[in-house]
Structure 1
Amino acid sequence: MEDQGLAVSQTLPEIFEAVAGKELEHSRTNSEPITPSEDDVAEAERLKTEGNDQMKAENFEAAVSFYGKAIELNPSNAVYFCNRAAAYSKLGNYAGAVRDCERAIGIDPNYSKAYGRMGLALSSLNKHTEAVVYYKKALELDPDNETYKSNLKIAEQKMKETPSPTGGPGGFDLAGLLNNPGFMSMASNLMNNPQVQQLMSGMISGGHNAMGAAGSSPSTNDLASLIQAGQQFAQQMQQQNPELIEQLRSQIRSRTPSASNEEQQE
């Protein structure tokens, strides 16, 4: 109290008010969108076109890079985010695709392709209920898009399916396959093949011996022979029961969302 050199010219409330005012002004400045120059807009378009070319050449990582540079120059263009979402999906980065679709929709809420690509990414993440919502919105904005219609049906079908202990990925009907007499007959013939039995016996005994002695695991030749036997089994199935093979292929195709229209970058 006696040291006048420590005295301040403002009271504590005055200091707080001054600092709070500066923070508010700073946040307003940062939140204001930055308008890109004409040169930046032109360069961003060039980078986007380069990204599209990389997508056509299936260089998806390079496409992501070009779209990212375009976004840095012009972050208010929804197309750039939507295109990068497609590239992310091609790389299996569906979470990244979802984020970019959200950004694109935030910029342009009426951008049908962003909703369609969001649905595709969510379907790939097995979030079929959410995918249905986005496909419906995409169709609302683009009612004649056949890809959206097809993908919506697939998502609705998967949403209604209940997981089965005998079902594989995408609701694959493994139980029906095991109940198919033609398939089981050929599988039985394969397992009764002396060569296959010998290979399986050697691999099993090798596995047991491996716990007690190093280097006694199945050889590469054994594995290659088993793979060859499996390939022969597949060829036998194709020759003896082509209807079953086509049935399985049709089932897989009908459960896979299509990205045909979404591949056309803008």
Structure 2
Amino acid sequence: MSTAQQFKDLGNQAFKENKFEEAAKFYSQAIELNPNDHILYSNRSGSYASLSKYQEALTDADKCISINPNFAKGYQRKGLALHYLGEFEKAIEAYQQGLAKDPSNSLLQEGLKSAQTELQGTQNNPFASALKNPNILKLLGILQKDPRTSAFASDPTFMQLIGLMISQPQMASQFMQTDPRISTALSVILENPEAQAIFFSEFAGKVKKPDGEKKDHPQQQSQHMEEEQPQPQQEQHHHTHTDQHHQAHTEQHHQTHTEQPQQKQHHQPPPKPQPQLEEWEVQKNLGNDEYKNKNFEKALQYYNAALELNKEEALLYNNKAAVFIEQKLYDQALESIEEGLKVLEVHSSFQKKAKLLARKAKVLSLQNKVDEAIQIYEKSLVEDHVQSVKDELKKLQKMKQDLEAQNYINPQLGEEANTRGGDAFKAGKFPDAIQCYSDAIKRNPKEPKYYCNRATAYMKLMEFPNAVSDLEKCLSLDSKYVKAYVKKANCHFVMKEFHKAKTVYEKGLELEPNNVEMQQGLEKVRFSIMQGSGSEEEQQQRAKRAMQDPEIQQILREPEVINLLNDMKDHPQDGLKAIKSNPSLAAKIEKLIEAGVLKTG
């Protein structure tokens, strides 16, 4: 019988290998055997957090703290879960409670600093607080679905403007003059009855309904790209065409809504003057245009000119780094990024810092410095949780895992690990045997017998689903591995999946018709099916499990089966005739009986 410590060790090993689902499972098994061990809840909380299951991670962290209030790491686990759930104030409180227990704990200190930065950013970001309003969320959803505004809705600069407009509705007219995208968005809102109702219910008395204000020229969008990376030329053509279409549509909309008596038009206020760009912004926008056209040397000249005028704009260094990346001058890209980060030491902005760090991680990954790149991506996400950065991090972690697995392959060492597993199995140390067989699989993942051996160890621990998974892998590598058929059928039989056990035995007997063990196993399965093995409650549980089987679900969805089952209620004799005359239908009904879904007699 395995102990809680053995399952804990398996969980720790799985966690080190980034197999977080497996780790959480082993910790759960350990908790069943020792529910008062606070470290087990802490470890499982870490596994859940690594799987982005932050609510489960929080529950386990709370349980850990309730068992041992002096365990500082429990508070770190709680703070991390609350952080990613967006509960920054509660995260800060958890970190502070942990530091009261262990003032020198670096993880708690870093977590506290990160949560405080996030909270400050949220408080300074009106858009973040507005997202708590379900009406605003619905409005943004409408903008994301409309082709005219879908691109805007994914642009962080545009969303920041929306945030400012939400917090300062009286400034809406000025925003429309400043950025033509706002006018386009308002046109979409006013054409959609649901969006219009939400808009005026949220901003009634603060924003006047725009009376056909003319859309500005699309080129003015370049004013608001300080934090945008320039798009490739092909995308630029697409946006230009789209903007022209939007302008034509908006002008038509303008004509429709401004057909009013002549005398009223004289009372309209004159248009407000357009804000003038600073010279460094002009140079930056010219650089963006050259970047889009892949004229990288000219883009670099404009960015340098912009920096001569404004050395305090950190993202200009980021733009320069983008040029250097295209030129494959990675060291120069890193130097430019470091200059931008130095600027942010004085003029702090967590969003800009996140962008620079993400660009730095990209450069490091291109230099094949995978471990460093992963660390920098993680730092970027601490500054600002951007989904695209998170996706890049996951890709890099997967690449690292694949490379490590490839480098670990060694068939000779795999056979040695398999031998150690056999020795542990004979000694009754089944968790140790699983570890050895797992190592053998990593050393040589194409050897079927290692999966079969590990499945046997899982069976000793009554981990039948894991055993079945290993046996299926074994058979996928060698479809004539008879022992795997025997063991797999036995697992299904123990789990009372008689229909599956019968199928596996039959396939195995096709390979070895005289195999006595499989013949006896098949007879035992048939007898159990006929007798309806187990108590009434056990049979109900068996049927319930069978209903979750995709094969059984598919059979029950087929029209001929549905019609037959309905006919059998009122006309059983007609149903029996239909079964006898249709072999395919008969096989399906037999499968339902074997699974325990249908009963005979």
SS in 1 for 2:52: coil
Residue deviations 1:161-192, cap 9 Å, x none?
415256799xxx956xx9898767x73xx58x
By how many angstroms is 1:156 displaced?
1.9
SS in 2 for 1:92: coil
* Partner residue in 1 for 2:429: none
Residue deviations 1:107-151, cap 9 Å, x none?
111111011110011001110111111101111111111221121
CA distance in 2, matches of 1:253, 1:120: 13
SS in 1 for 2:81: helix
CA distance in 2, matches of 1:181, 1:69: 53
Residue deviations 1:41-90, cap 9 Å, x none?
xx101100100000000000000100000000010100101100000000
1:99 counterpart = 2:59: yes
Taking CA–CA contacts closer than 8 Å with sequence separation of 6 or more, which of the two structures ends up with the larger relative contact order? 1
Structure 1 residues 256, 112: CA separation in 2 closer, same or farther (over 3 Å shift)?
farther
Contact between 1:119 and 1:130, CA under 8 Å: does it hold in 2? yes
1:125 counterpart = 2:85: yes
Residue deviations 1:203-249, cap 9 Å, x none?
7899xxxxxxxxxxxxxxxxxxxxxx98x799875236834875433
* Partner residue in 2 for 1:151: 111
* Partner residue in 2 for 1:260: none
1:134 is matched by which residue type in structure 2?
A
1:249 counterpart = 2:288: no
CA distance in 1, matches of 2:125, 2:15: 38
SS in 1 for 2:104: coil
1:164 counterpart = 2:203: no
SS in 2 for 1:109: coil
CA distance in 1, matches of 2:244, 2:223: 31
Structure 1 residues 166, 78: CA separation in 2 closer, same or farther (over 3 Å shift)?
closer
* Partner residue in 2 for 1:53: 13
RMSD after superposition: 4.0
* Partner residue in 1 for 2:69: 109
**Aligned match of 1:63 in 10, 23, 35?**
23
2:73 is matched by which residue type in structure 1?
K
Structure 1 residues 147, 71: CA separation in 2 closer, same or farther (over 3 Å shift)?
same
CA distance in 1, matches of 2:96, 2:227: 39
Structure 1 residues 60, 179: CA separation in 2 closer, same or farther (over 3 Å shift)?
farther
Unpaired stretches in structure 1, ≥5 consecutive residues: 1-38, 207-228, 258-266
**Number of paired residues?**
185
CA distance in 1, matches of 2:235, 2:119: 40
CA distance in 1, matches of 2:125, 2:38: 40
* Partner residue in 1 for 2:47: 87
2:380 is matched by which residue type in structure 1?
I
Point out the more displaced range, 124-133 or 244-253.
Answer: 244-253
Kindly report which structure 2 residues correspond to 1:1-266, keeping only aligned pairs within 5 A, or say none: 43-161=3-121, 162-165=123-126, 187=230, 190=231, 193=233, 195-200=234-239, 237-239=321-323, 242-243=336-337, 247=353, 248-250=355-357, 252=380, 255=383
* TM-score (normalised: structure 2): 0.27
CA distance in 2, matches of 1:134, 1:167: 22
SS in 2 for 1:103: helix
Structure 1 residues 254, 76: CA separation in 2 closer, same or farther (over 3 Å shift)?
closer
CA distance in 2, matches of 1:53, 1:201: 54
Unpaired stretches in structure 2, ≥5 consecutive residues: 132-155, 161-221, 246-290, 297-317, 325-332, 342-352, 358-378, 386-601
* TM-score (normalised: structure 1): 0.57
Contact between 1:154 and 1:256, CA under 8 Å: does it hold in 2? no
Question: Between the two proteins, what is the percent identity of the paired residues?
Answer: 26
CA distance in 2, matches of 1:179, 1:237: 21
By how many angstroms is 1:153 displaced?
1.6
Structure 1 residues 181, 64: CA separation in 2 closer, same or farther (over 3 Å shift)?
closer
Larger radius of gyration: 2
Structure 1 residues 74, 182: CA separation in 2 closer, same or farther (over 3 Å shift)?
closer
CA distance in 1, matches of 2:111, 2:356: 18
